[in-house]
Protein backbone atom coordinates (compact mmCIF):
# COMPACT_ATOMS: atom_id res chain seq x y z
CA UNK A 1 0.00 0.00 0.00
CA UNK A 2 1.39 3.42 -0.96
CA UNK A 3 2.18 6.10 1.61
CA UNK A 4 0.61 9.55 1.06
CA UNK A 5 3.18 12.20 0.18
CA UNK A 6 2.89 15.91 0.94
CA UNK A 7 5.23 18.47 -0.65
CA UNK A 8 6.52 21.39 1.38
CA UNK A 9 8.04 24.35 -0.42
CA UNK A 10 10.07 26.03 2.31
CA UNK A 11 11.60 29.37 1.34
CA UNK A 12 14.05 31.00 3.72
CA UNK A 13 15.97 34.23 3.48
CA UNK A 14 19.13 32.41 2.38
CA UNK A 15 17.88 29.28 0.61
CA UNK A 16 14.80 27.45 -0.56
CA UNK A 17 13.86 23.79 -0.62
CA UNK A 18 11.28 21.39 -1.94
CA UNK A 19 10.74 18.62 0.60
CA UNK A 20 8.64 15.47 0.52
CA UNK A 21 6.90 14.40 3.72
CA UNK A 22 5.38 11.00 4.44
CA UNK A 23 3.01 10.34 7.35
CA UNK A 24 2.59 6.70 8.33
CA UNK A 25 1.92 4.78 11.55
CA UNK A 26 1.84 7.94 13.63
CA UNK A 27 5.24 9.17 12.45
CA UNK A 28 6.51 11.58 9.82
CA UNK A 29 9.62 11.41 7.67
CA UNK A 30 11.08 14.09 5.42
CA UNK A 31 13.20 13.89 2.30
CA UNK A 32 14.84 16.94 0.75
CA UNK A 33 14.39 16.79 -3.02
CA UNK A 34 15.80 20.09 -4.22
CA UNK A 35 17.70 22.94 -2.56
CA UNK A 36 18.49 26.27 -4.16
CA UNK A 37 19.97 29.60 -3.11
CA UNK A 38 17.99 32.67 -2.18
CA UNK A 39 18.89 36.15 -1.01
CA UNK A 40 18.70 39.82 -1.72
CA UNK A 41 19.43 40.97 -5.27
CA UNK A 42 20.86 44.46 -5.75
CA UNK A 43 18.83 46.22 -8.44
CA UNK A 44 19.88 49.82 -9.15
CA UNK A 45 20.72 50.45 -5.52
CA UNK A 46 17.67 48.68 -4.10
CA UNK A 47 17.38 45.22 -2.54
CA UNK A 48 14.82 42.92 -4.20
CA UNK A 49 13.69 39.29 -4.24
CA UNK A 50 14.08 37.47 -7.56
CA UNK A 51 10.72 35.73 -7.39
CA UNK A 52 10.89 34.57 -11.01
CA UNK A 53 14.11 32.64 -10.37
CA UNK A 54 12.54 31.19 -7.22
CA UNK A 55 9.49 30.10 -9.22
CA UNK A 56 11.71 28.30 -11.73
CA UNK A 57 13.49 26.48 -8.90
CA UNK A 58 10.19 25.52 -7.26
CA UNK A 59 8.91 24.02 -10.51
CA UNK A 60 12.16 22.09 -10.90
CA UNK A 61 11.76 20.67 -7.40
CA UNK A 62 8.16 19.72 -8.08
CA UNK A 63 9.25 17.92 -11.25
CA UNK A 64 11.74 15.88 -9.22
CA UNK A 65 8.94 15.06 -6.76
CA UNK A 66 6.63 13.88 -9.53
CA UNK A 67 9.31 11.63 -10.99
CA UNK A 68 10.02 10.05 -7.61
CA UNK A 69 6.59 9.79 -5.93
CA UNK A 70 4.06 10.10 -8.75
CA UNK A 71 0.46 9.44 -7.76
CA UNK A 72 1.31 9.16 -4.05
CA UNK A 73 1.53 12.97 -3.92
CA UNK A 74 -1.57 14.48 -2.31
CA UNK A 75 -0.83 18.19 -2.06
CA UNK A 76 1.73 20.99 -2.00
CA UNK A 77 2.00 24.04 0.25
CA UNK A 78 4.40 26.98 0.57
CA UNK A 79 5.84 28.72 3.62
CA UNK A 80 8.19 31.72 3.65
CA UNK A 81 9.36 34.57 5.85
CA UNK A 82 6.81 37.25 6.73
CA UNK A 83 6.13 40.92 5.86
CA UNK A 84 7.32 41.10 2.23
CA UNK A 85 4.76 41.27 -0.55
CA UNK A 86 4.11 41.27 -4.29
CA UNK A 87 1.80 43.72 -6.03
CA UNK A 88 -0.32 42.68 -8.99
CA UNK A 89 -1.87 45.23 -11.32
CA UNK A 90 -4.45 45.13 -14.07
CA UNK A 91 -4.69 41.70 -15.66
CA UNK A 92 -2.59 40.25 -12.82
CA UNK A 93 0.51 41.95 -14.14
CA UNK A 94 3.48 41.80 -11.75
CA UNK A 95 4.30 45.37 -10.68
CA UNK A 96 8.05 45.03 -10.38
CA UNK A 97 10.29 42.76 -8.34
CA UNK A 98 9.24 42.81 -4.66
CA UNK A 99 11.41 44.65 -2.18
CA UNK A 100 13.58 42.85 0.37
CA UNK A 101 12.76 43.72 3.98
CA UNK A 102 16.33 44.97 4.49
CA UNK A 103 16.04 47.54 1.71
CA UNK A 104 16.89 51.08 2.83
CA UNK A 105 13.56 52.57 1.70
CA UNK A 106 12.15 52.04 5.21
CA UNK A 107 15.00 53.85 6.96
CA UNK A 108 13.36 56.43 9.27
CA UNK A 109 9.91 55.62 7.85
CA UNK A 110 8.53 54.77 11.30
CA UNK A 111 9.19 58.35 12.40
CA UNK A 112 7.17 59.57 9.43
CA UNK A 113 4.32 57.16 10.17
CA UNK A 114 4.23 57.84 13.91
CA UNK A 115 4.08 61.58 13.33
CA UNK A 116 0.83 60.88 11.51
CA UNK A 117 -0.73 58.21 13.74
CA UNK A 118 0.39 57.72 17.36
CA UNK A 119 2.17 54.51 18.29
CA UNK A 120 -0.48 53.41 20.78
CA UNK A 121 -3.24 53.80 18.20
CA UNK A 122 -1.40 51.54 15.76
CA UNK A 123 -0.74 48.94 18.46
CA UNK A 124 -4.36 48.93 19.64
CA UNK A 125 -5.49 48.03 16.14
CA UNK A 126 -2.72 45.57 15.20
CA UNK A 127 -1.04 44.17 18.34
CA UNK A 128 2.27 44.01 16.48
CA UNK A 129 5.74 45.08 17.52
CA UNK A 130 7.21 48.08 15.75
CA UNK A 131 9.84 47.11 13.20
CA UNK A 132 10.67 49.37 10.24
CA UNK A 133 10.27 46.56 7.73
CA UNK A 134 6.74 45.53 8.74
CA UNK A 135 4.40 45.47 5.76
CA UNK A 136 2.56 48.53 7.05
CA UNK A 137 5.71 50.65 7.03
CA UNK A 138 6.84 49.27 3.68
CA UNK A 139 3.51 50.42 2.26
CA UNK A 140 3.84 53.82 3.92
CA UNK A 141 7.28 54.11 2.29
CA UNK A 142 5.76 53.23 -1.08
CA UNK A 143 2.96 55.76 -0.61
CA UNK A 144 5.58 58.46 -0.09
CA UNK A 145 8.14 57.44 -2.73
CA UNK A 146 6.19 55.51 -5.39
CA UNK A 147 2.52 56.45 -5.09
CA UNK A 148 1.72 55.66 -8.73
CA UNK A 149 2.78 52.04 -8.33
CA UNK A 150 0.61 51.68 -5.24
CA UNK A 151 -2.33 53.32 -6.99
CA UNK A 152 -1.94 50.92 -9.92
CA UNK A 153 -2.07 47.86 -7.67
CA UNK A 154 -5.19 45.72 -7.67
CA UNK A 155 -3.95 42.97 -5.37
CA UNK A 156 -1.36 42.55 -2.61
CA UNK A 157 -0.12 39.04 -1.95
CA UNK A 158 2.42 38.09 0.69
CA UNK A 159 5.30 35.97 -0.54
CA UNK A 160 3.85 32.47 0.08
CA UNK A 161 0.45 33.56 -1.19
CA UNK A 162 2.09 34.84 -4.37
CA UNK A 163 3.55 31.39 -5.01
CA UNK A 164 0.21 29.78 -4.19
CA UNK A 165 -1.27 32.05 -6.86
CA UNK A 166 1.32 30.84 -9.34
CA UNK A 167 0.49 27.25 -8.36
CA UNK A 168 -3.31 27.41 -8.27
CA UNK A 169 -4.59 30.84 -9.26
CA UNK A 170 -5.85 31.62 -5.73
CA UNK A 171 -5.63 35.22 -4.53
CA UNK A 172 -6.00 35.00 -0.77
CA UNK A 173 -3.74 35.45 2.26
CA UNK A 174 -3.39 32.75 4.91
CA UNK A 175 -4.03 33.83 8.50
CA UNK A 176 -0.66 33.27 10.18
CA UNK A 177 1.22 35.39 7.65
CA UNK A 178 -1.49 38.04 7.57
CA UNK A 179 -0.78 38.62 11.25
CA UNK A 180 2.84 39.61 10.49
CA UNK A 181 1.87 42.63 8.41
CA UNK A 182 0.78 45.16 11.07
CA UNK A 183 -2.25 45.63 8.83
CA UNK A 184 -4.51 43.11 10.60
CA UNK A 185 -6.72 43.72 13.64
CA UNK A 186 -6.27 40.73 16.01
CA UNK A 187 -9.48 41.63 17.82
CA UNK A 188 -11.62 41.13 14.72
CA UNK A 189 -9.42 38.93 12.54
CA UNK A 190 -9.98 41.34 9.66
CA UNK A 191 -7.86 43.98 7.94
CA UNK A 192 -7.45 47.20 9.94
CA UNK A 193 -9.13 49.29 7.24
CA UNK A 194 -9.51 52.45 9.34
CA UNK A 195 -5.78 52.47 10.10
CA UNK A 196 -4.85 51.79 6.49
CA UNK A 197 -7.01 54.66 5.25
CA UNK A 198 -5.23 57.06 7.62
CA UNK A 199 -2.02 56.27 5.74
CA UNK A 200 -3.78 56.50 2.34
CA UNK A 201 -3.10 52.81 1.70
CA UNK A 202 -5.82 51.39 -0.57
CA UNK A 203 -7.80 48.78 1.32
CA UNK A 204 -9.19 47.14 -1.83
CA UNK A 205 -5.81 45.53 -2.59
CA UNK A 206 -6.01 43.30 0.49
CA UNK A 207 -7.59 39.92 -0.33
CA UNK A 208 -9.65 37.52 1.74
CA UNK A 209 -7.93 35.99 4.77
CA UNK A 210 -8.27 32.20 4.90
CA UNK A 211 -7.66 29.79 7.80
CA UNK A 212 -4.55 27.66 8.08
CA UNK A 213 -5.01 24.39 6.20
CA UNK A 214 -7.40 25.78 3.58
CA UNK A 215 -7.55 23.98 0.25
CA UNK A 216 -6.81 26.70 -2.28
CA UNK A 217 -7.62 24.64 -5.37
CA UNK A 218 -5.67 22.35 -7.64
CA UNK A 219 -2.53 22.98 -9.66
CA UNK A 220 -2.95 25.17 -12.71
CA UNK A 221 -3.15 23.03 -15.82
CA UNK A 222 0.12 24.30 -17.27
CA UNK A 223 1.97 23.71 -13.98
CA UNK A 224 0.49 20.23 -13.62
CA UNK A 225 1.61 19.39 -17.15
CA UNK A 226 5.08 20.92 -16.90
CA UNK A 227 5.95 19.24 -13.60
CA UNK A 228 4.14 15.97 -14.22
CA UNK A 229 2.30 16.24 -10.91
CA UNK A 230 -1.21 16.30 -12.28
CA UNK A 231 -3.97 18.32 -10.68
CA UNK A 232 -2.95 17.76 -7.05
CA UNK A 233 -4.33 19.97 -4.27
CA UNK A 234 -2.67 23.21 -3.25
CA UNK A 235 -3.06 23.70 0.52
CA UNK A 236 -2.16 26.75 2.61
CA UNK A 237 -0.15 25.47 5.57
CA UNK A 238 0.87 27.94 8.24
CA UNK A 239 2.45 30.02 5.48
CA UNK A 240 4.57 32.08 7.86
CA UNK A 241 7.61 29.89 8.47
CA UNK A 242 7.61 30.64 12.20
CA UNK A 243 3.95 29.67 12.43
CA UNK A 244 4.74 26.35 10.77
CA UNK A 245 7.77 25.80 13.01
CA UNK A 246 5.86 26.47 16.23
CA UNK A 247 3.16 24.02 15.14
CA UNK A 248 5.87 21.32 15.09
CA UNK A 249 7.23 21.88 18.60
CA UNK A 250 6.91 18.59 20.51
CA UNK A 251 5.36 20.06 23.66
CA UNK A 252 2.73 18.36 25.80
CA UNK A 253 1.31 21.74 26.87
CA UNK A 254 -0.44 23.03 23.76
CA UNK A 255 -2.27 26.28 24.38
CA UNK A 256 -0.56 26.99 27.71
CA UNK A 257 2.05 29.72 28.30
CA UNK A 258 4.18 27.71 30.78
CA UNK A 259 6.73 26.88 28.08
CA UNK A 260 8.60 29.16 25.74
CA UNK A 261 9.99 28.64 22.27
CA UNK A 262 12.79 30.04 20.18
CA UNK A 263 12.58 29.52 16.44
CA UNK A 264 16.28 29.90 15.80
CA UNK A 265 17.86 30.77 12.49
CA UNK A 266 18.72 34.04 10.78
CA UNK A 267 16.20 35.47 13.24
CA UNK A 268 15.42 34.24 16.73
CA UNK A 269 11.68 34.39 17.32
CA UNK A 270 11.11 33.93 21.06
CA UNK A 271 7.65 33.63 22.50
CA UNK A 272 4.90 31.78 24.28
CA UNK A 273 1.61 30.32 23.11
CA UNK A 274 -1.48 32.14 24.36
CA UNK A 275 -5.23 31.79 23.64
CA UNK A 276 -5.68 35.43 22.56
CA UNK A 277 -3.64 38.47 21.64
CA UNK A 278 -2.25 40.61 24.47
CA UNK A 279 -2.48 44.29 23.49
CA UNK A 280 -2.00 45.92 26.89
CA UNK A 281 -0.09 49.16 27.46
CA UNK A 282 2.79 47.15 28.92
CA UNK A 283 2.90 44.97 25.80
CA UNK A 284 3.23 48.17 23.77
CA UNK A 285 6.03 49.41 26.05
CA UNK A 286 7.94 46.17 25.61
CA UNK A 287 7.32 46.22 21.83
CA UNK A 288 6.21 42.59 21.67
CA UNK A 289 4.09 41.14 18.92
CA UNK A 290 1.00 38.97 18.57
CA UNK A 291 1.10 36.61 15.60
CA UNK A 292 -1.53 34.06 14.74
CA UNK A 293 -1.05 30.35 15.27
CA UNK A 294 -3.31 27.43 14.43
CA UNK A 295 -6.32 26.11 16.33
CA UNK A 296 -7.13 29.52 17.77
CA UNK A 297 -3.73 30.14 19.38
CA UNK A 298 -1.63 33.29 19.28
CA UNK A 299 2.13 33.60 19.40
CA UNK A 300 3.12 36.31 21.85
CA UNK A 301 6.71 36.84 20.81
CA UNK A 302 9.66 39.09 20.21
CA UNK A 303 11.85 39.24 17.09
CA UNK A 304 15.54 39.03 17.97
CA UNK A 305 18.26 39.40 15.35
CA UNK A 306 19.40 35.78 15.73
CA UNK A 307 22.26 34.04 13.96
CA UNK A 308 22.33 36.78 11.33
CA UNK A 309 25.30 38.23 13.21
CA UNK A 310 27.22 34.96 12.92
CA UNK A 311 26.17 34.31 9.31
CA UNK A 312 27.31 37.74 8.20
CA UNK A 313 30.55 37.44 10.18
CA UNK A 314 31.25 34.13 8.45
CA UNK A 315 30.67 35.80 5.09
CA UNK A 316 33.08 38.58 6.02
CA UNK A 317 35.73 36.08 7.13
CA UNK A 318 35.39 34.30 3.78
CA UNK A 319 35.90 37.58 1.94
CA UNK A 320 39.12 37.99 3.93
CA UNK A 321 40.29 34.60 2.66
CA UNK A 322 39.62 32.76 5.93
CA UNK A 323 37.99 29.45 5.17
CA UNK A 324 35.92 28.60 8.24
CA UNK A 325 32.71 26.64 8.71
CA UNK A 326 30.10 26.89 11.47
CA UNK A 327 31.57 24.04 13.50
CA UNK A 328 35.02 25.65 13.46
CA UNK A 329 33.49 28.96 14.53
CA UNK A 330 31.73 27.23 17.42
CA UNK A 331 35.00 25.71 18.60
CA UNK A 332 36.82 29.04 18.37
CA UNK A 333 34.01 30.75 20.29
CA UNK A 334 34.00 28.02 22.96
CA UNK A 335 37.70 28.62 23.60
CA UNK A 336 37.41 32.42 23.70
CA UNK A 337 37.29 34.45 26.91
CA UNK A 338 33.77 34.56 28.41
CA UNK A 339 31.84 37.83 28.66
CA UNK A 340 34.70 39.95 27.31
CA UNK A 341 32.32 42.17 25.32
CA UNK A 342 28.54 42.20 24.94
CA UNK A 343 26.12 43.83 22.52
CA UNK A 344 22.48 44.31 21.69
CA UNK A 345 21.85 42.06 18.67
CA UNK A 346 18.87 44.25 17.76
CA UNK A 347 20.82 47.47 17.50
CA UNK A 348 20.21 49.14 14.14
CA UNK A 349 23.95 48.95 13.42
CA UNK A 350 23.54 45.22 12.78
CA UNK A 351 20.50 45.32 10.48
CA UNK A 352 22.44 45.46 7.19
CA UNK A 353 26.10 46.45 7.73
CA UNK A 354 28.66 46.23 4.95
CA UNK A 355 30.98 44.30 7.27
CA UNK A 356 29.53 42.63 10.38
CA UNK A 357 32.80 42.14 12.34
CA UNK A 358 33.61 45.83 11.85
CA UNK A 359 30.11 46.78 13.03
CA UNK A 360 30.48 44.58 16.12
CA UNK A 361 33.89 46.09 16.93
CA UNK A 362 32.53 49.63 16.53
CA UNK A 363 29.59 48.90 18.83
CA UNK A 364 31.86 47.48 21.53
CA UNK A 365 34.29 50.38 21.26
CA UNK A 366 31.44 52.88 21.36
CA UNK A 367 30.08 51.36 24.57
CA UNK A 368 33.43 51.35 26.35
CA UNK A 369 34.17 47.65 25.92
CA UNK A 370 37.16 45.88 24.39
CA UNK A 371 36.86 45.35 20.66
CA UNK A 372 36.70 41.66 19.69
CA UNK A 373 39.95 40.93 17.86
CA UNK A 374 39.69 37.30 16.79
CA UNK A 375 37.07 35.26 15.00
CA UNK A 376 36.37 33.36 18.24
CA UNK A 377 35.92 36.57 20.23
CA UNK A 378 33.54 38.00 17.62
CA UNK A 379 31.34 34.91 17.55
CA UNK A 380 31.40 34.42 21.33
CA UNK A 381 30.33 38.04 21.76
CA UNK A 382 27.38 37.45 19.41
CA UNK A 383 26.29 34.14 20.97
CA UNK A 384 26.56 35.27 24.59
CA UNK A 385 24.67 38.45 23.76
CA UNK A 386 21.91 36.47 22.05
CA UNK A 387 21.52 34.22 25.09
CA UNK A 388 21.36 37.22 27.43
CA UNK A 389 18.76 38.86 25.19
CA UNK A 390 16.74 35.63 25.44
CA UNK A 391 16.77 35.99 29.23
CA UNK A 392 15.57 39.58 29.00
CA UNK A 393 12.73 38.68 26.64
CA UNK A 394 11.77 35.66 28.75
CA UNK A 395 11.27 37.98 31.72
CA UNK A 396 9.01 40.20 29.64
CA UNK A 397 6.90 37.26 28.46
CA UNK A 398 6.49 35.97 32.01
CA UNK A 399 5.47 39.45 33.16
CA UNK A 400 2.83 39.76 30.44
CA UNK A 401 1.30 36.31 30.98
CA UNK A 402 1.79 36.05 34.75
CA UNK A 403 3.02 32.49 34.20
CA UNK A 404 6.48 31.08 34.99
CA UNK A 405 8.22 29.32 32.13
CA UNK A 406 9.28 25.77 32.94
CA UNK A 407 11.20 24.87 29.79
CA UNK A 408 12.42 26.47 26.57
CA UNK A 409 12.06 24.64 23.25
CA UNK A 410 14.49 25.66 20.50
CA UNK A 411 13.67 24.62 16.95
CA UNK A 412 15.15 25.31 13.53
CA UNK A 413 18.69 25.52 12.21
CA UNK A 414 19.97 27.11 15.42
CA UNK A 415 19.50 23.80 17.23
CA UNK A 416 22.68 22.65 15.49
CA UNK A 417 24.62 25.33 17.37
CA UNK A 418 25.16 23.41 20.62
CA UNK A 419 27.07 26.30 22.15
CA UNK A 420 24.15 28.71 21.71
CA UNK A 421 21.69 26.14 23.09
CA UNK A 422 23.84 25.66 26.20
CA UNK A 423 24.29 29.42 26.57
CA UNK A 424 20.49 29.83 26.39
CA UNK A 425 19.99 27.31 29.19
CA UNK A 426 22.68 28.99 31.30
CA UNK A 427 21.46 32.54 30.77
CA UNK A 428 17.75 31.80 31.22
CA UNK A 429 18.21 29.33 34.11
CA UNK A 430 15.82 26.98 32.34
CA UNK A 431 16.27 23.56 30.77
CA UNK A 432 16.40 23.72 26.98
CA UNK A 433 15.01 21.08 24.62
CA UNK A 434 16.53 21.43 21.16
CA UNK A 435 14.81 20.03 18.10
CA UNK A 436 13.55 19.42 15.58
CA UNK A 437 15.94 21.09 13.15
CA UNK A 438 13.35 20.81 10.36
CA UNK A 439 10.48 22.26 12.39
CA UNK A 440 9.18 24.50 9.61
CA UNK A 441 9.03 21.74 7.00
CA UNK A 442 7.48 19.34 9.53
CA UNK A 443 4.80 21.86 10.41
CA UNK A 444 4.08 22.52 6.74
CA UNK A 445 3.77 18.82 5.91
CA UNK A 446 1.70 17.90 8.96
CA UNK A 447 -0.77 20.73 8.44
CA UNK A 448 -1.29 19.45 4.89
CA UNK A 449 -1.72 15.96 6.32
CA UNK A 450 -4.33 17.30 8.73
CA UNK A 451 -6.24 18.87 5.84
CA UNK A 452 -6.09 15.44 4.19
CA UNK A 453 -7.54 13.82 7.33
CA UNK A 454 -4.37 11.94 8.28
CA UNK A 455 -3.72 13.94 11.48
CA UNK A 456 -6.08 15.56 13.98
CA UNK A 457 -5.53 18.57 16.24
CA UNK A 458 -2.49 20.77 16.88
CA UNK A 459 -1.79 18.58 19.91
CA UNK A 460 -1.87 15.51 17.65
CA UNK A 461 0.55 17.13 15.22
CA UNK A 462 3.00 17.68 18.08
CA UNK A 463 2.66 14.09 19.25
CA UNK A 464 3.58 12.90 15.76
CA UNK A 465 6.68 15.12 15.82
CA UNK A 466 7.69 13.84 19.27
CA UNK A 467 7.54 10.26 18.00
CA UNK A 468 9.53 11.09 14.88
CA UNK A 469 12.57 13.16 15.89
CA UNK A 470 15.54 13.00 18.22
CA UNK A 471 15.73 15.79 20.79
CA UNK A 472 18.73 17.15 22.69
CA UNK A 473 18.49 18.36 26.28
CA UNK A 474 20.59 21.07 27.93
CA UNK A 475 20.61 21.84 31.65
CA UNK A 476 21.61 25.23 33.12
CA UNK A 477 25.27 25.46 34.16
CA UNK A 478 27.56 28.12 35.64
CA UNK A 479 24.50 30.23 36.41
CA UNK A 480 26.18 32.58 38.90
CA UNK A 481 28.58 33.86 36.24
CA UNK A 482 25.68 34.27 33.83
CA UNK A 483 23.67 36.16 36.47
CA UNK A 484 26.53 38.61 36.86
CA UNK A 485 26.85 38.95 33.09
CA UNK A 486 23.13 39.63 32.85
CA UNK A 487 23.34 42.48 35.36
CA UNK A 488 26.06 44.01 33.23
CA UNK A 489 24.06 43.36 30.06
CA UNK A 490 20.94 44.93 31.55
CA UNK A 491 22.86 48.09 32.35
CA UNK A 492 24.43 48.10 28.89
CA UNK A 493 21.06 48.19 27.18
CA UNK A 494 19.86 50.86 29.63
CA UNK A 495 16.43 49.31 30.06
CA UNK A 496 14.90 50.44 33.39
CA UNK A 497 14.34 47.72 35.98
CA UNK A 498 10.73 47.18 37.03
In tens, the pLDDT along 316-352 reads: 999 999 989 999 999 999 999 999 999 999 999 998 8
Say whether the peptide bond before residue 375 is cis (omega within 30 degrees of 0). no
> Helix crossing, 308-319 with 356-366: angle to 10°?
120
- Please indicate whether residue 483 is annotated as part of the active site: no
2: pLDDT confidence band, cut at 50, 70 and 90?
Answer: confident
Summarised one tens digit per residue, pLDDT across range 350-393 is 988 999 999 999 999 999 999 999 999 999 999 999 999 999 99
Among 291-305, 403-417, 437-451, whose mean pLDDT is lowest? 291-305
Q: Quick check: 179 and 279 in contact, CB under 8 A?
A: no
Q: Which residues contact 219 (CB under 8 A, 6 or more apart)?
A: 76, 167, 168, 227, 229, 230, 231, 232, 234
Which one from 84, 185, 241, 344 is the annotated catalytic residue? 241
Ordered alpha helix ranges (H), 221-301:
221-227, 241-247, 281-286
Q: Give the C-alpha distances (Å, rounded to integers) separating 193 from 20, 190, 199, 202.
A: 39, 8, 10, 9
Q: How crowded is residue 112: how many other Cβ atoms within 10 Å of its Cβ?
A: 15
Q: What distance in Å separates the CA atoms of residue 23 and residue 21, rounded to the nearest whole number?
A: 7
Specify the pLDDT at position 497: 30
Which tens digit of pLDDT belongs to each residue from 448-480? 999 999 999 999 999 999 999 999 999 999 999
Question: Which of 153-157, 229-233, 493-497 is least confident?
Answer: 493-497
Amino acid sequence: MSTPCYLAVDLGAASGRVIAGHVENGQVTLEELHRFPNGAVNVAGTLRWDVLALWNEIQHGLTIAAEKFGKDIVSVGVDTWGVDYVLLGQGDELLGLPYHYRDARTDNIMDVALSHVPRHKIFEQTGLQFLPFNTLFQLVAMRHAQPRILDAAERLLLMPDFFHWLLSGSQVIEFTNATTTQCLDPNTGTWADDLLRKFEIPTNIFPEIVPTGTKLGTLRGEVAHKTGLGRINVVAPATHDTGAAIAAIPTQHTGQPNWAYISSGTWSLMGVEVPEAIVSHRALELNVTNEGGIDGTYRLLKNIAGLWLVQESLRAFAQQGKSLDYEQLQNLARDAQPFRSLLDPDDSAFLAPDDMPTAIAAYCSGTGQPEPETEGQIVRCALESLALKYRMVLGWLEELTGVTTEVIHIVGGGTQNALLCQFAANACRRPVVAGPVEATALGNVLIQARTDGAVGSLSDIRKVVARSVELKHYQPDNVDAWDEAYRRYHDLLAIPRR
